[in-house]
Chains A and B, each alone.
Chain A
Amino acid sequence: MDPVQGRAADPRTFVHLFTCIQSAAICDFPKAVKVVEVGPRDGLQNEKEMVPTGVKIQLIDMLSETGLPVIEATSFVSSKWVPQMADHAEVLKGISLAPHVRYPVLTPNMQGFHAAVDAGATEVAVFGSASETFCKNNINCSIEESFQRFKEIISSAKQAHIPVRGYVSCAVACPYEGHVEPAKVAEVAKRLYELGCYEVSLCDTTGVGTPGSMASMLKCVVKEVPTNALAVHCHDTYGQALANVLIALQMGISVVDSSVAGLGGCPFAKGATGNVSTEDVVYMLNGLGIETGVNLSKVIHAGEFICKALNRSTNSKVAQATLKSETS
């Protein structure tokens, strides 16, 4: 319905405006994007090398100086399952909490939640899945059972005035099941939102998504969850991440997860890359004139630091190009 003319919109009516409409539509980007830095948790959790607590703390403190508004600090998961995050309490207590920066931590269950609160957490995150097999293999329960767990956590968090962020893994595809139906993703996202998550991050866990499948999935999810409560968490395993982020922005998403230096490989394709690099995302957003509040040089610097500590090269193309041109 055309609100101006009060009649059904007919594409032919707009043909004469098509050029500017098309440009305007293509340029229909948010003015500002919130970048959620997941390097210290999602990144380091999926790196072969373990880094000492002191290095993690220094990384987070460097990231706090870059202008990033959200930095996922650690995960209160059993060290039996994720040894890289065994020092969670020490990390959370050791970092300098910058004002205007939030430091969510993963809490897979009530035990983790209590430990996180004891360690001073003021925001937590829960990880759902749109795939039953992935849920079973990852956290050893069904999707429905996982929701029972999250309900408890979210209820306790609400009482303690602690905001909760939700994640939906396998939002495009599952390493075990293959294609995941957009409707299933929408259902899980809706449940998390209705349970009380202030934001739901949709994860292309294996990085197989393209702007086509991303758009199909988002079309479904935005019907169930307000767009301003959604985020995208794209993996760059197939090089599609920035294009996927772009399409998400065009569809009204204004929160993007990324990882400094592209830390965190893909556990399902050993040796392949995983998380999209914060540097590359910020570079693109800067070029689009979208505000992030992030100082790109400082992020590159933080990335350089952690790569040195991990004895690995960066996955960020912006960092590679910037550092190479500085030395050539």
Chain B
Amino acid sequence: MGLNRVHVHVGVQLLRVHFPQVAASAGKSLPEKVKIVEVGPRDGLQNEKTIVPAEVKICLIDMLSEAGLPVIEATSFVSPKWVPQMADQVEVMKGISKKPGVNYPVLTPNLKGFQAAVKAGATEVAIFGAASELFSKKNINCSVEESLQRFEEVAKAAKEQGVAVRGYVSCVLGCPYEGKVAPGKVAQVAKRLYAMGCYEISLGDTTGVGTPGGMIEMLEAVKHEVPVEALAVHCHDTYGQALANILVALQMGISVVDSSVAGLGGCPYAQGASGNVATEDVVYMLHGLGIQTGVDLAKLMDAGAFICQSLNRRTSSKVAQAASFQAILQF
């Protein structure tokens, strides 16, 4: 039986302890199952240059539903003045075939958006906080505190109407304006969102600058304030670090991962650079680790191929790229 050697600092003494390996992966405990939250149709398409018609969005979401994804972020009830890609929000919401057992959260930045979302049939909404003041100001034109007060309104209304709310925290590992973001600040914002009723908080590495070191530090701080079962990670692959970041998050007990089919959604802060991590690549890694996701990788890749063709762009998923040249070997 392999033993995993770790060092525990007790005062100034170095105490070496051994304990049996509990999982295949270098002795680190990994979840048996991971819930994948597919953000391609919203976060992905919102950040693509090309706007696709409602029927393409609907077809994409329906294909994703068939691929076994348990949560698919469908659209955003934000003003089309700011996000024209999401102008067909109502049509999309009403047009998709809602598969039983699948959740279709939608973004609602304020009460107005919330009300429109519920009217269009939404049963779950999402609100977006930030761990950086400058980012909050530039993104939604108010301070972090002001944004949290707006969200309190949405959360209250959602509770009254039995609508679930998911919270997001942006800039958890760095801000395009402020640079480094203190883990304590991330924890504070996550705690507020959780306290106001968000059932889950997704921690977003908005610019993809994070590395496993920063991820560990940040999660340690957040786990003190929010139960780990209520946490998710939303990693961007702009610097190629996403899968490594997700791996350490899993090792720290996280079991919900956001990702985007075909890696849709570039990075608005580094024009032309990649953004969201590709769902295909995440699922490939998770399956290779023996973690269940319920996702059919082949069907997922079909959905990715479909949307890339519609967008007239190449996939950002390496698994999809490799598979287009050979049969997928899963080891």
Are the CB atoms of B272 and A324 closer together than 8 Å?
A: yes
Do the beta carbons of A21 and B238 come within 8 Å of each other?
no
What CA separation (Å) do A85 and B249 show in the bound complex? Answer: 42
Q: Is B177 an interface residue (CB 8 A)?
A: no
- Taking the complex as formed, is A81 at the interface, i.e. its CB lies under 8 A from any CB of chain B? no
Residues of A near B272 (CB, < 8 A) are 320, 324, 328
Q: What is the minimal beta-carbon distance from B291 to any residue of chain A, in angstroms?
A: 9
Asked if A301 lies at the interface with its beta carbon under 8 angstroms from chain B, I say: no
CA distance A173 to B216 in the complex (A): 31
Instruction: Evaluate whether A242 and B18 lie within 8 angstroms (CB atoms) in the complex, with A22-B251, A289-B213 already known.
Output: no
Cross-chain contact B325 with A271 (CB below 8 angstroms): yes
Determine the distance from Cα of A287 to Cα of B240 in the docked complex, in whole angstroms. Answer: 13
Residues A264-285 near B (CB distance < 8 A): 266, 268-273, 277, 280, 283-284
Give the distance to chain A from B117, nearest Cβ to Cβ, in Å: 33
* Contact yes or no, B329 A246, CB < 8 A: no
| Interface stretch (choices B45-53, B83-91, B315-323) | B315-323
Are A212 and B24 in touch, CB under 8 angstroms? yes
Chain B: CB-nearest residue to A23 = B220
In the complex, A64 has a CB within 8 A of chain B: no
Given contacts A211-B285, A280-B240, A317-B273, contact A3 B16 (CB under 8 A): yes
Q: Are A239 and B319 also in contact (CB < 8 A) when A318-B239, A318-B240 are?
A: yes
Chain A residues in 8 Å Cβ range of B19:
9, 11, 14, 21
Q: Does B211 contact A (CB under 8 A)?
A: yes
Interface size on A, residues (CB 8 A): 68
- The answer to whether A2 and B318 touch across the interface, beta carbons within 8 angstroms, is no
Set of chain A residues within 8 Å of B82, measured between Cβ atoms: none
Instruction: Tell me the chain A residues, 165-193 only, with Cβ under 8 Å from chain B.
Output: 172-173, 178-179
A157 to chain B, nearest CB (A): 34
Binds A, one of B2-10, B119-127, B128-136, B187-195: B2-10
Q: How far is the CA of A179 from the CA of B118 in the complex (A)?
A: 50
User: Are A242 and B6 CB-contacts (below 8 A) given A273-B321, A288-B212?
Assistant: no
A52-108 at interface with B (beta carbon < 8 Å) = none
Q: Which residue of B211, B244, B270, B331 contacts A173 across the interface (Cβ within 8 Å)?
A: B331
Q: Which residues of A lie under 8 Å from residue B211 when comparing CB positions?
A: 283-284, 286-288
Q: Evaluate contact between A11 and B20: CB separation under 8 angstroms.
A: yes
Does A250 have its Cβ within 8 Å of any Cβ on chain B? yes
Contacting residues, chain B, for A277 (C-beta < 8 A)? 240
The answer to whether B244 and A246 touch across the interface, beta carbons within 8 angstroms, is yes
Interface: A24 (CB within 8 A): yes
Restricting to A286-316, which residues have a CB under 8 Å from any CB of B?
Answer: 286-289, 316
CB-CB under 8 A from A27, the residues of chain B are 216
Contact A24 B284 (CB under 8 A): no
Answer whether residue B161 sits at the interface, using C-beta atoms and an 8 A cutoff. no
Contact call A4/B17, Cβ cutoff below 8 A:
yes
Residue A160 at the chain B interface, CB threshold 8 Å: no
Query: Does residue B258 face the partner (Cβ distance < 8 Å to A)?
Result: no
Determine the residue in chain A with the shortest Cβ distance to B238: A321
What is the distance, in angstroms, from B6's C-beta to the closest C-beta of chain A? 5
Interface: A213 (CB within 8 A): yes
The chain B residue sitting closest to A285, CB to CB, is: B211
Given contacts A9-B19, A240-B288, A247-B247, contact A317 B239 (CB under 8 A): yes
Within 8 A of B (CB), among A209-236: 209-213, 215-216, 219, 236
> Is A238 an interface position by the 8 A CB rule?
yes
A216-B24, A320-B274 are known contacts. Are A238 and B7 too (CB-CB below 8 A)? no
Q: Which B residues lie within 8 Å of A270 (CB)?
A: 325
List which B25-53 residues lie within 8 A (CB) of chain A: 25-29
Complex contacts, A283 vs chain B, CB 8 Å: 211, 239-241
Min CB–CB distance A230 → chain B (angstroms): 14
Q: Beyond A210-B288, A287-B213, A321-B270: 11 further Cβ-contacts under 8 Å? A: A9-B20, A20-B8, A28-B7, A208-B330, A211-B26, A237-B322, A240-B281, A250-B26, A272-B322, A288-B211, A320-B272
Q: Offer 15 A-B interface pairs, CB within 8 angstroms, sorted by A.
A: A9-B19, A21-B6, A22-B252, A23-B216, A210-B287, A212-B290, A239-B318, A246-B247, A247-B26, A284-B211, A287-B210, A317-B239, A318-B240, A321-B273, A324-B270
Pick the 7 closest A-B CB pairs, nearest first.
A287-B211, A210-B288, A239-B318, A317-B240, A328-B271, A280-B240, A239-B281
Partner-A contacts on B (CB < 8 A)? 2-4, 6-9, 15-20, 22, 24-29, 208, 210-214, 216, 220, 237-241, 243-244, 246-248, 251-253, 267, 269-274, 278, 281, 284-285, 287-290, 317-319, 321-322, 324-326, 329-331
